[in-house]
Structure 1
Amino acid sequence: MKFSVLASGSSGNSIYIESNRIRILIDAGISGKQMEQRLKQIGVDLSTLSAIFVTHEHIDHVKGLGVLARRYQIPVYMNEATWSQLPSSVGEIPISLQNIVASSSMIDLEDIHIESIPISHDAVEPVGYHIYTEDESIAVVTDLGYVNQHIIKKVSGADTLIWESNHDVEMLRVGSYPWNIKRRILGDMGHLSNEDSGTALVDILHGKGEQVYLAHLSKDNNLAELAHLTVKDILEDAGLDVGKEVYLKETYADRPTPLQAVKRNALIKA
């Protein structure tokens, strides 16, 4: 498999994944025009997409969903509750393109297997996804308030992990957000802090060359360098060699990450 994080952050989220036989998006939280431009930057024609999988109904994950589905006749997959809560701005998606994927289920499309993983966030039924082929896997888990043992179990062993590191707690506390918003972000149905992100990764990673893309960083309450340093320090304190056993990578709100293989930096598994 190959992948690119096309957009990551409160202004929009989308991840492109391809295998030998299929091309999919996880979320479509940027406009159709932006999606076309960013896919073009990584050498992908939007008309070749096979499916879009949606994690939850918030606009930064579905902004371009309706346009893309209708214009390019792309099948869309999400759980029934999320279908029922899509914003009106998404518009009508033809019944022929609607597919229901129950949370905690696994479906097969061509040569990939896609597992839906329930998570905690202030959406109706949010999920992450773990995408497998016979030899490799990539897990996408953002927009979660806390990490439980079920999530750890479901994503442990992924070759590549796109993982939330949303905010620095102190930056958020002293920042300009209203207190009700701060409380939401800090709560169990909000977003994962840098510290909580790193702590969870200690339990998830095996030190076998996994790539971790720190995602959904707040533009107001975080810095890419701070997220990287905080997570790196936590992993190294736990005995993981960052840069050899584990690789930390950045994602961006305004541009895609390079298209690359899921296991480019992975060591051979024991």
Structure 2
Amino acid sequence: MTMDSAFQVSVLASGSTGNSLYIESDQKKVLVDAGLSGKKITELMGQIDRNPKDLDAIFVTHEHRDHVHGVGVLSRKYDIDVYANEKTWEAMSRIVGNIKLEHQHIIEMGKTLTLGDMDVESFGVSHDAVAPQFYQFHRQNKAFAVLTDTGYCSEQVRGVLRNANGYLIENNHNIEMLRMGKYPWHLKQRILGDRGHLSNEDGAYALADMIGSKTERVYLGHLSKENNMKELAHLTTENILKLKDLGVDEDFTIWDTDPDMATDLFQF
């Protein structure tokens, strides 16, 4: 990393089939979630020339399988520390299996934990899990924020995440595609509800309220395979941010993510 770089970040995978983000400082290498098989995460890390054996920690957001599928196997194979709040530990135990006691760590909602040379701030969101929380990473006066899997973005969350250098933000669905799609009504209701997922518009308006002078890059994440398209999410976000007079492609850039391909490592 260059002298003024705080983090290197890659969105390894993002989508309804599995989610994992890689973030690295001078001292630490961590994942936020590991919602794919251990084999797939190893392959995705290989795409950015990294190896799971070097990971120091996995921070878990909530117990849904597309966020925890590979947590247990990676921790057992490489002796990786796992951080989650107490309720999430209880809820995900049957999915992740046995994890050594010395690798089980608690990070409660609303708390900030220091891990080596970075601070990890947790914050609660509105999603249909037992105690969902996401994370913002801080180092050298820089911040990278992760926010997917929430039905809405509260004023409090917007305040916590304002003016980060980078964002991974949810653009789960296009509302019309979801409404006209094949999902049963109860599932559509769940996704559209306050404990569901952000639409393209929701994500863009939340971003418009959070982006600041420090912001360099925005990743659009957790796109539904059935109810969204990359081009649609990107265009919607770009149009709304331009309507708000924000400097798309001048002050910051918008990047797509993929369920099967890691984004290039980027230095913040």
Shared fold per TM-score greater than 0.5? yes
Cα distance in 1 between the residues matched to 2:199 and 2:78 = 37
* Other-structure match for 1:178: 184
Question: For residue 3 of structure 1, what is the amino acid of its counterpart?
Answer: V
Query: Is the contact between residue 33 and residue 59 of structure 2 (CA under 8 Å) also seen in structure 1?
Result: yes
Deviation at 1:200, TM superposition (A): 1.1
Aligned residue in 1 for 2:76:
70
Deviates more, 1:163-172 or 1:37-46: 37-46
- 1:35 maps to 41
Aligned counterpart, 1:160:
166
Q: Establish whether residue 221 from structure 1 lines up as the match of residue 201 from structure 2.
A: no
Q: Does residue 198 in structure 1 map to residue 212 in structure 2?
A: no
Q: Is 1:10 aligned with 2:20?
A: no
| Paired AA for residue 217 in structure 2 | Q
Deviation at 1:237, TM superposition (A): 0.7
In 2, the alpha carbon distance for the partners of 1:61 and 1:36 equals: 15
Per-residue CA distance 1:87-135 (angstroms, 9 max, x = gap): 5232111111100001000000110000001000000000110001023
Which residue of 2 is the match for residue 187 of structure 1? 193
Aligned residues: 262
Does the CA contact (< 8 Å) of 1:5 and 1:15 recur in 2?
Answer: yes
CA positional deviation for 1:211: 0.9
Cα distance in 2, alignment partners of residues 13 and 212 from structure 1? 16
Structure 2 match to 1:100? 106
Contact persistence 2:28–2:116 (CA under 8 A): yes
State the alpha-carbon separation in 2 of the partners of residues 133 and 99 from structure 1.
Answer: 21
Identity among equivalent pairs (%): 47
> What residue in structure 1 maps to residue 51 of structure 2?
45
1:203-252 deviations in whole A, cap 9, x for unaligned? 11125443110000001000000001111111111111210123111100
Q: Tell me, what secondary structure is at the counterpart of 2:114?
A: strand
| Structure 1 SS opposite 2:92 | coil
Report if aligned partners of 1:39, 1:46 keep a CA contact under 8 Å in 2.
yes
State the SS of the aligned residue for 1:120.
Answer: coil
Letter in 2 for 1:250: D
- Structure 1 counterpart of 2:160, which letter? K
Please give the alpha-carbon distance, in whole angstroms, between the structure 1 residues aligned to 2:214 and 2:247. 10
**Aligned match for 2:94, one of 57, 80, 88:** 88
Taking a change above 3 Å as real, the CA distance of residues 112 and 254 of structure 1, as seen in their structure-2 partners, is: same
Give the conservation status (yes or no) of the 8 Å contact 2:23–2:30.
Answer: yes
CA distance in 1, matches of 2:232, 2:108: 36
Sort the Cα spacing of 1:177 and 1:141 in 2 relative to 1 into closer, same or farther, 3 A: same
CA distance in 1, matches of 2:105, 2:239: 42
Structure 1 residue 210 corresponds to structure 2 residue 211: no
Amino acid corresponding to residue 148 of structure 1 in structure 2:
S
Aligned position for 1:266: none
**What is aligned with 2:259?**
253
Asked whether the equivalents of residues 59 and 87 of structure 1 are also in contact (C-alpha less than 8 Å), the reply is no
In the alignment, residue 193 of structure 2 is paired with which amino acid?
G
Q: Is 1:242 aligned with 2:248? A: yes
If the length of structure 1 is used for normalisation, what is the TM-score? 0.95
- 1:221 maps to a residue whose letter is N
Structure 2: gaps (5+ residues): 1-6
| Structure 1: runs of 5+ lacking an equivalent | 263-270
Paired AA for residue 34 in structure 1 = K
Aligned partner of 2:133: which letter? V
Contact 1:207 1:246 survives alignment (8 Å):
no
Contact 1:4/1:15 (8 A) holds in 2: yes
State the superposition RMSD in angstroms: 0.9
Partner of 1:129: 135
